[in-house]
Structure 1
């Protein structure tokens, strides 16, 4: 052991150095990764900043262009308005001069009348000395108001030159006026008119500088400020309007820093803004945008990049730690291997591949004294080989321990092993295990160990000898004939099981003539198939020689599928498998083909699916109709899919060969002749069809048969059922494909179809539809579903909708054993899978009379019920849905219902004075805080005798006899098994209150 420790130490040190070098390498990689991420982040930041600056400049240019356009529009509008007003005033003044010339006597009354008509503020009539001869004004004597203007040169000049006129708009005494002057036509002098103008504002609908940019939404929430000298005259920021430039700047730190491309950065109390100032006509325009909007793209992308970089760096460190842990585990594994080898192997050596130096860890008893030690030379090794290994194995042994090729051989394998015989007749197994690596990661040291395997080798030789003897005995017999006779039961048992099973059922139901007749038909069908199967198996040579003929007759597809289900149902049930048969787009149910051969083909495939699918597996059979290029023909596609043991890729090439069976089938003990698929392929070929197989080992197999069949010329009737045209229907099946197929059929007969794959959801949807007065008129429900079976689903739906609507059970099984229970639950009809359109329409057509009888019976029962109106009960139930259903049923019986969610609530109520008002308690058993038994015991111990002796009925899903006894022992007066019904509740009420 000391030698072993000594020889391992150098390797351990090498590994430590290697681990340290790896750690340094990882540190360099981490620095490199960090540098790359940092450099990439800076580059992205700069590129996005440049892009955002470019976008900002573009936005500023567009915004300044817009501002220029708006200001120009304002000035044009203002100028045009002033010119129009002055021209109109000049026309009125000229007309007044003409009117004065026509008047014999100029008077103030005439001027007043003219001023009112023309809506003038005032009129002045001057003589040649600019003295007022007549005047009128709404605001009194205005001579002093216009004195300076009258004395001006351009007004005085009109008297000297009558052809001249003068108009202007001016502000006088704080008011705005339009002023006009023309020469008098009746004498020397001047006629002056003036009109006071309203100030331009938003109220009178005029365009103003103040409203030019108010409330205008600028891109990126920017700000625009238009200044005239030192005053803000227009802006989209109301807090700056009408303030001075200095007052506006006080809102900011007044720090401007020049940026690139003419952009100015403005530092404010509300953050940084970017923009610039430009001169627009006589105005100074400032446009700025907030930094958060300018660089929003850069900021978002950079934040995402930082998060991504952190994620990458974290992933890198996780990967590094995992690699280091993996390396440590690998080293520990090697140490465990060496320790185990030290006990299990007779000799152990470490060999340096490059120098071929052999270091002995554990010596063999076959070594001579001069061969023992820490080092074994090549000469000693060769001598040891010749002494220990028998001559036939010596050369192969030398090749096995050739160190020049061992590294290459270990590239694809973890270990190398070789078994040789010693001169003493014993067997040795030699293994080579990688042990050490150099700095470049190449293999440098291996461990070589020997172990005595004589006992194992002798057992292997004996076993091989026995197998060879058994094989020789088997080959001596007539293999083909023996396999054929021994495996015939494979194809015979399936119809035989049906015959035996239905014979037993017929004996059990001998008094039911209709049911026995149905069983006899099925026995006859299976018998016919059994006869045809025996004939086909025995006459395989006739099929191969071409003497078998296909007999074409009109065949009803539903009969084919129902007969097929009848035959294989017994085998499916015995293996507890799920069988799904559905149709898709089948319009032509009557085709022309060979019914016997088609049944034989489908039965061969389905029987194999049942046989090669384990217990609890699934088998799907689908029939679909596809268009065909030939007139009067359709393509019928039969698909049989299972999730059984499947086939290997190699066997799929030979699956249709005679007597071909995969080895895994025989190993599993599954019988068969190996002729079924060969017969199937030959029949399909004779029917001018195709058959394909898709399979994978362990996942299952799917056979697809495509036949071009002539139609009988008739299609399925798709006229609507008059009573149900446009009505809603609900399809409930745990297979979505079946739901969609049945829904398509219902839509074909002009009904509205919904579907669900859950019984619980069906109950909720039925309740919702009933409450909204959009009831489902027909329910089609699968019998077997995982969450809630069909009968229970029907029972709960009946609690909601009553007895008014037909509910049809859809099943792939014989429903005779459940028919009575189903009828009591509210089922009105049964229909078999696979469901065809003709069958669905037929069962719906016969449903109306049955429903009338159901409704009449329900009315009679309702009239005979006892009345318990006024009785007050306490319902204790923790499940909301169960509580809602039970409350609805009890209220229909006239009971007044209060409900609580737990036993503790019931005990608290009954312990108070409020408990005396209740006549009965319906108590659930399983509740989260206090179960029903405990709650009952607590109530029975109350001091108030009325509350302590109140009748208590257990209402639970525990329906066994021991559960009833347990309820009575706890002090309960009755036991109702869920799901509850009105009749059961009435029976218990009659017993308690009337008994």
Structure 2
């Protein structure tokens, strides 16, 4: 009897690898199933909580709606008793004013004596109401009232029933409920944006109908329609998990209930067992690699045991692994041996390959025309020995007619005793992939060259453009200077020329600053200086800066906040201001007279702990941009042709600088624009917040009090109302000044007065001042009324106070400012609108001016002497040190020091002065006065021992402001 053959080592290894694979499969299947169970439980819990929140929300909305309707119905009953001959017109006016759908007035026999409605089938509604038991109860008990929400013909109505006060009978008012009156939350929206892990599907059914889901296509379907998905027969049941197989795709999930809702949650198997699939796939790849490696090692060991063949065969075998065809040419015997052949690259068979004619025909069939002649010369066996002298091999690359590339190699194979070549090998290999890679690299090099040429062209265009832009203000400076000299006796005309020279000079300085800023950014010299910043300060400063430009072009400015909780952040304030001013400045520049500028700051959820995410949006309705230019808006030197033709000045660097700064901050900047309709820039940045989140307490005097917000922008209204509710006030809002007056009147009549009013200044139907004036006639003078505005209120302050305004607050409105304004009004304190800055009189103080440029020295001395200062000057840092060393102790009150000087710069001179033996002279105030105007330059000046920094070109205001600060600190 023959014994069974035992499996070899390779067989055992294969069995072990399969068993391990099965174990891995089982382990990860169990882990994925457990993860599925936990995910189902968590998702179901979240779904139930959201449904519970929705139920609570709708219950609260219903109660508030019914209470408001009951108040209005009572008021209608009161009006019936107050007004003689209360008629149809009075009723219709009341229905319109109170936004009711309709009302009935009946006698004691329930006959309708007066009715009013707005687009309703009143007969059906009356029949529905009259049959209710509570109608008789209210009729029999005059002190009773009744409210409820009813459904008639699939429409919901809030209903209130009260007894008449002028006679026996009832007053019934009703209001139709629709998507606009049910609040912001609907059952459909509860799960519309609900993100379920693993691409899962969640459905909530009510009465066998899908009423909420995260898959919009399933909404409204009945369970009968969904039966093929969720009533399939389960193929397995474990721990309440059901497996279904709709459309030949496997899903896992379960069904749960909450009150009247049925909750269905399912996940695709491909997502559930993703970990198992990935791990098992990796294991399979590793197992195959291990098994192949084992076979390779085994094969190599077997080959080692074989006897080595001849040298020619070793070479042929080595070439055979890399080349598709190999041919041996015996030059001595004119014989050919086909060692290896391939259908793609084979040569003519046998000795036919030596025929020139056959070679020519074969080459014509296989190769493209440009390579045929060269390949024929390459395989010419009559000359190959001569060509191989001193060479290890010959190579030729050609392209075949079908598009592939062929590498042919000829190497010596056998030599005679004199060293002459007697046999050669011709090997052919397909190198299509390598050639395509080489061609791709060539294309990339050409593209890089084109990009470099484009960059050079852009810089050339920039130089042409900036040359024109610089010459324009320079020509203005030179021309108006000449005109001023000519008309030196005409003071008014000279003053006009000087104003134009000043404007042109400032524009020229802005051009130079942009170019320098971009150069520093590209060289990597810009460093962000992160400091604690109060966001309200940033935006109020921005508003003040742009106010003049906005007013000059009579543009409308909207500026507000959305959900800003953290007002103190850590950021480079200077660079943030630079980005915002660049964007807002462009919006003003490219928006015509009477246009609109909208600025909004929003705080969004942030996943990084200790950080907050902010979006800064600037939107205008200006000239807009083409789609082509939007792709290059953030490129350096980019300016759209329409802009240059229109004569709008600029370097094309503002947006490039802004983009680079935002990138350094780790944020993003995007643009949406359409020609003729305007542009919107959105900057998104994550900022580190300072300290813990501030929880603003309520104002004790206003806790629980009603407040009315009036603004024609609904977003602003909702944002301010949210702030008011956060400090425990009852907030309501309207977008109309006229409606605000009506609301104030209504509040007084029902004895539920508003304790504070926040009213926008600029509104289309009735401006804020007129609105305040009319409200004051209704409520009197005790209630605070705050004007909210994005504009300078100085010109209207007197008129506003006469109308009854008690305070002004600037837009954008932040929580800290709103609470401060309300607190100030509640406790009756007053705060000065502005504090004038005090300037000390520094006339008679002596300063030492250190400046190497004679013209700059003359200008600076003239400016300071005009302000009453006494000026001594020296030309270099060495002279300054010597002058201070020999001067009397109290001769100088301050030093204005240039930085870049030929012999000793300002930094070194400052350090030398600080080492003087005389303590008073060593501590004299030293002010840097230099063209090095960047933030790091200021920091470097302070580190060198200087007290302050003034950027050139200097102005007397800047000098006096710095002297104020220095001498104020030294008092």
* Range of TM-score over shorter length: 0.3 to 0.5
- TM-score normalised to the size of structure 1? 0.33
- TM-score normalised to the size of structure 2? 0.34
